[in-house]
Amino acid sequence: MEARNSQRYDGRSRKLGVNQCFDVSVDCRADIYHAEFAYKQLGFFSGAAAIIDGSTNSAPHPKDATLHNFPHLRRRQFAVTFSWSCFLGALFLSGFFALGLSTASVASSRKPQAATAVPHSPLAEARDLLAAGRFQEAQNAVQRYLSEHKTSADAHFLLGLIFFRQIQAEALDTTTSPNDASSQTNFGSRKFREENAKASLAEYTEGAKYARPSAADLKIVALDYVLLGSYTDASKWLARSVEDDPNDAEAWYFLGRAKYNENRFDEAIGAFGRCLGLEPRNIKAQSNLGLSYAGLNRVPEAQAAFLKAIEWQAGASRKDPEAYIGLGDLLVQQNRASEAVPYLLEAVQIAPRESRAREKLASAYLNLNELGAAQKELESAIALDPRNPGLHYLLGSVYRKQGQAQKAKAEFERFQTLKETTETARP
pLDDT (tens place) for every residue of the chain, 427 residues total: 444 443 333 333 333 332 333 333 333 333 333 333 343 334 332 222 222 223 333 333 333 333 434 444 333 332 222 332 333 333 443 344 334 454 334 433 454 444 444 456 899 999 999 999 999 999 999 999 999 999 999 999 999 999 999 998 888 776 555 444 444 445 567 889 999 999 999 999 999 999 999 999 999 999 999 999 899 999 999 999 999 999 999 999 999 999 999 999 999 999 999 999 999 999 999 999 999 999 999 999 999 999 999 999 998 999 999 999 999 999 999 999 999 999 999 999 999 999 999 999 999 999 999 999 999 999 999 999 999 999 999 999 999 999 999 999 999 999 999 998 877 655 5
Type of residue numbered 359: E
pLDDT digits (tens, 9 = 90+) for 64-117: 333 434 444 333 332 222 332 333 333 443 344 334 454 334 433 454 444 444
Measured CA to CA, the distance from residue 123 to residue 154 in angstroms comes to 8
Q: Which residue in 385, 319, 360 sits closest to 98, CA to CA?
A: 319
The secondary structure element, H or E, covering residue 92 is strand 92-93
Q: What are phi and psi of 119, to 5 degrees?
A: -50, -40
The secondary structure element, H or E, covering residue 410 is helix 405-425
Q: Sign of the C-alpha dihedral, residues 270, 275, 281, 285?
A: negative
Measured CA to CA, the distance from residue 169 to residue 97 in angstroms comes to 11
Q: Sign of the C-alpha dihedral, residues 20, 268, 264, 225?
A: positive
Alpha helices in 208-298 (DSSP H): 215-227, 231-244, 249-261, 265-278, 283-295
List the CATH code of the domain at 2-425: 1.25.40.10
SS3 93: strand
Going by C-beta distance under 8 Å and a sequence separation of 6 or more, which residues neighbour residue 52?
106, 107, 109, 110, 127, 154, 157, 158, 161, 214, 216, 217
Report pLDDT for 175. Answer: 54
Going by C-beta distance under 8 Å and a sequence separation of 6 or more, which residues neighbour residue 215?
109, 240, 241, 242, 244, 245, 248, 251
Q: Which residue in 373, 154, 276 sits closest to 290, CA to CA?
A: 276
Report pLDDT for 421. Answer: 82
The secondary structure element, H or E, covering residue 42 is strand 40-42
Measured CA to CA, the distance from residue 333 to residue 175 in angstroms comes to 31
Type of residue numbered 136: Q
Contact indicator for 320, 350 with CB cutoff of 8 Å: yes
Q: Which residue in 118, 124, 148 sits closest to 52, CA to CA?
A: 124
Measured CA to CA, the distance from residue 358 to residue 237 in angstroms comes to 35
What is the full DSSP assignment across 384-404? H-TT-HHHHHHHHHHHHHTT-
Measured CA to CA, the distance from residue 378 to residue 195 in angstroms comes to 34
Q: Which residue in 277, 336, 279, 278 sits closest to 302, CA to CA?
A: 336
Type of residue numbered 207: G
Domain boundary assignment for the chain: 2-425
Q: What angle do CA 291, 292, 298 make, to 5 degrees?
A: 95
Measured CA to CA, the distance from residue 45 to residue 268 in angstroms comes to 21
Measured CA to CA, the distance from residue 387 to residue 336 in angstroms comes to 29
Contact indicator for 13, 29 with CB cutoff of 8 Å: no
Measured CA to CA, the distance from residue 269 to residue 421 in angstroms comes to 34
The CB density around residue 177, as the number of other CB atoms within 10 Å, is: 9
Type of residue numbered 424: T
